Amino acid sequence: MHDHRKLGRELELFDTDPLIGAGLPYWRPAGAAIRHALEEYVYDLERRAGYQHVHSPVLAKRELYEISGHWDHYRDGMYPPMRLGADEVVLRPSLCPHHAIIFRSRGHSYRELPLRIAELGGMYRAELSGVLGGLTRVRSIQLNDAHIFCTLDQVAAEVAGSLAMIRRAYRDLGIEPARYRLSLASPDAKYVGSQESWDTAADILRKALADAGLAYDCGEGEAAFYGPKIDVQVADAGEREASLSTIQVDFYQPERFDLSYTGPDNARHRPVMVHRSVIGGLERLVAHLTETHNGAFPPWYAPVQLAVLPVTDDQVDAAAAVVREATVAGLRAELSSPEGKTTLGARIRQARLVPYLAIIGPAEAETDQVSLRLRDGRQLGIVRPEDALAKILARVRNRSHQLWD
Per CB under 5 A, residues contacting Zn ion are 96, 275
Identity of the residue, 96 or 333, whose beta carbon is nearer to Zn ion in the bound complex: 96
User: What is the rounded radius of gyration, in angstroms, for the C-alpha atoms of the chain?
Assistant: 24
Identity of the residue, 66 or 313, whose beta carbon is nearer to Zn ion in the bound complex: 66
Measured distance CA(275)–CA(105) in Å, rounded: 19
Least Å from the CB of residue 122 to Zn ion: 14
Apex CA 70: angle with CA 127 and CA 225, to 5°? Answer: 95
Measured distance CA(138)–CA(126) in Å, rounded: 9
Q: Which of 167, 207, 166, 205 is nearest to 185 (CA)?
A: 205
Cβ–Cβ under 8 Å, residues 296 and 303: no
Identity of the residue, 275 or 288, whose beta carbon is nearer to Zn ion in the bound complex: 275
Least Å from the CB of residue 250 to Zn ion: 7
Least Å from the CB of residue 100 to Zn ion: 9
Least Å from the CB of residue 35 to Zn ion: 21
H helices present in 192-313, as ranges: 195-211, 252-256, 282-292
Identity of the residue, 275 or 373, whose beta carbon is nearer to Zn ion in the bound complex: 275
Identity of the residue, 96 or 166, whose beta carbon is nearer to Zn ion in the bound complex: 96
- Look at phi and psi of residue 213 and say left if phi exceeds 0, alpha if psi is from -120 to 50, else beta: left
Identity of the residue, 275 or 293, whose beta carbon is nearer to Zn ion in the bound complex: 275
H helices present in 257-340, as ranges: 282-292, 316-329
Least Å from the CB of residue 37 to Zn ion: 25
Least Å from the CB of residue 340 to Zn ion: 56
Cα-flanking dihedrals φ and ψ of residue 245, to 5°?
-110, 160
Identity of the residue, 35 or 275, whose beta carbon is nearer to Zn ion in the bound complex: 275
Question: Cβ-closest residue to Zn ion?
Answer: 96
Least Å from the CB of residue 61 to Zn ion: 18
Identity of the residue, 27 or 225, whose beta carbon is nearer to Zn ion in the bound complex: 225
Largest Cα span, the chain: 79
Least Å from the CB of residue 141 to Zn ion: 13
Element (H, E) at 40: helix 29-48
Cβ–Cβ under 8 Å, residues 163 and 247: yes
Residue type, 142: Q
Mind giving me the DSSP string for 137-197? B-SEEEEEEEEEEE-GGGHHHHHHHHHHHHHHHHHHHT---SEEEEEE--TTS--SS-HHH
Cβ–Cβ under 8 Å, residues 299 and 355: yes
Identity of the residue, 119 or 291, whose beta carbon is nearer to Zn ion in the bound complex: 119
Least Å from the CB of residue 44 to Zn ion: 22
Q: Which of 170, 172, 168, 144 is nearest to 396 (CA)?
A: 172
